[in-house]
Amino acid sequence: MSLSFRQIAPLVALASVTVAATPVFAALPVGASAPPVTTPAVIAGKPFEFHLADALKKGPVVLYFFPAAFTSGCTIEAHEFSDATAQFAAAGATVIGLAHDPIDKLSKFSVTECRNKFAVGVASSAIIDAYKVKLPILSMSDRTSFVIAPDGRIIFAYSALSPDGHVTKTLAAVKAWRAAHPAR
């Protein structure tokens, strides 16, 4: 039995809608060791080399992946993280966003959308693969936020294509970690 295009087309359309509507889930689970990250980054338009290991020496790290700078959802998310930067800092956490964008584009994004308050860096294909946050078909990452404890373990992971909830959920995870590990 062979099917015509007219018979197959609705099935293909339904399948693509189903895949697009399926929520994205972080492949690296809570408890996993965070892969090392060393990448070009910028804060307030100033370039530097970001080393996850160095940031973890200061406290927990919120490592959030976003698909592309200057897109509507990523801009909303950057604004929300910039609004909450002081709260993350009060809990001893470092925030860095990663996207598969060129550093010059991220430099502009760090000033205009991150409002000079936190760093953004280049999510290379290797970093995206290591954290298992690659969008199907595309070379960019999905929208996934991790909280990594100073011991290098992932203590929180949240994936959703919508920017809603990433900041509130990661901040809650950082505050819960801080409550269990008071600063000395």
Query: What six digits make up the tokens of 75?
Result: 């801009």
Amino acid found at 101: D
- In DSSP notation, 22-35 reads SPP--SSPTTSBPP
- The active-site residue out of 74, 122, 147, 157 is 74
CA torsion angle 121 152 184 85 (round to 10): 30
Residue with tokens 């954290």: 131
Is 114 assigned a catalytic role? Answer: no
94, 133, 134, 140, 142 from 137: Cα distances, Å: 31, 12, 8, 9, 11
**H-helix or E-strand spanning residue 109:** helix 103-112
Positions annotated as catalytic residues are 74
